Amino acid sequence: DALPISEWKGTAKLAVIGKDLGGAKMGMNLDVEYKQKSEITVKPKINFEIDGQYNVGLALKTDTKTVSETLAQIVYKPADSKDSFYWFRADLTRGLAMVGCDQQLKDGINHSFEGVFGWKDFKGIQGQPVAVRSGVEYELSDDTSIGASGCY
């Protein structure tokens, strides 16, 4: 005997790639979720790569009536420094702006740092609306690596 299904959902996904838009590239994903109670969730994401060095992206989440999440980012990956990239991100829903970098200093040594500023209810260093996130990873040998991360 089959058990009754109390909840179900269906998901549709669409991916679009534009490989040459006048020197830029575009990637877009659209996820649509439909639940049995006629609840619809739409999650569009779009990213443009410009000149092989810059990425500009936006991600949303909506129930088709109100937007419940808004995330934006700009990423810079210098053409002359393939082992480093820098970013500015904004989580407009939670009221956070972040700026950071990720660098491979040499083979086996990676560092990543991010500064966070909050303009809503965010509490960071000593209750202030700022924080620092960091992470490091070191390959000590082919068989051993160590990593650490923190938020201050």
pLDDT the model gives residue 57: 98
| pLDDT (average), residues 93-119 | 95
Q: How far apart are CA 94 and CA 118, in angstroms?
A: 8
What beta strand segments (E) does the chain contain? 9-18, 24-35, 40-50, 54-62, 67-76, 84-91, 96-106, 109-118, 130-139, 145-151
pLDDT the model gives residue 23: 86
pLDDT tens for each residue of 107-139? 999 999 999 999 999 999 999 999 999 999 999
Which of 30, 63, 66, 64 shows the shortest CA–CA distance to 47?
A: 30
pLDDT tens for each residue of 25-67? 999 999 999 988 889 999 999 999 999 999 999 999 999 999 9
Q: Is the pLDDT of residue 15 over 60?
A: yes
- Write phi, then psi, for 35 (nearest 5 degrees): -105, 160
pLDDT the model gives residue 82: 84
pLDDT the model gives residue 4: 59
Q: Is the pLDDT of residue 2 over 90?
A: no
